[in-house]
Amino acid sequence: MGLLDTEPGKRRLLAVEVPAIERYNTGRDPDFRIAVTRAGGGLVLSYCLKPCHNVFRLETRLLSSYPIVPPETRVLTPLKHCPHLLEGQTMCLWRQGSTRATSRWDASQFTCVFAIVAAWRWLLCYELWHETGEWPLPEAK
């Protein structure tokens, strides 16, 4: 059963996630708005971010187990490999694959828009790393 197939999942989308996306999109250039499409039992958010000098195309997947399982964000724009980039150009944001007890994702506080803001921050770190060779934030524990 997917996120869109359960009543709690539908309520979460209608009461929390969709309004957060609508607020994020308000007044943004169309190229930088979040587009939402259905994918199986979940959703795919497609968008562009420009943290510094470069524009990056990304997608964030809200799997059917979302929000218990954190969203997965990957960069579609080709990147130079770095220690914080997982297979398939997936961003290391919440220690994907970790247990609920060790993940930094908190389903009671965060929304998919929070995940997009975290992706923007990650990309800013990536651009700084590309210029300096040093990741500007501490490692995730």
- Domains, the chain, in order of start with CATH, read 3-132 (3.10.110.10)
Please give the pLDDT value at position 141: 42
Please give the pLDDT value at position 1: 62
In DSSP terms, 62 is beta-bridged to 43
Please give the pLDDT value at position 28: 95
d(CA 57, CA 2): 26
**Termini Cα distance of the chain:** 32
- Mean pLDDT, consecutive 10-residue segments, the chain of 141 residues? 76 86 95 93 94 96 87 94 87 66 76 93 92 81 42
Q: Which residues contact 47 (CB under 8 A, 6 or more apart)?
A: 32, 33, 34, 35, 57, 58, 59, 60, 116
Please give the pLDDT value at position 73: 94
What pTM, to 2 d.p., does this model score? 0.86
Structure tokens at 41: 């039992």
Residue in 140, 34, 44 with CA at minimum distance from that of residue 92 = 140
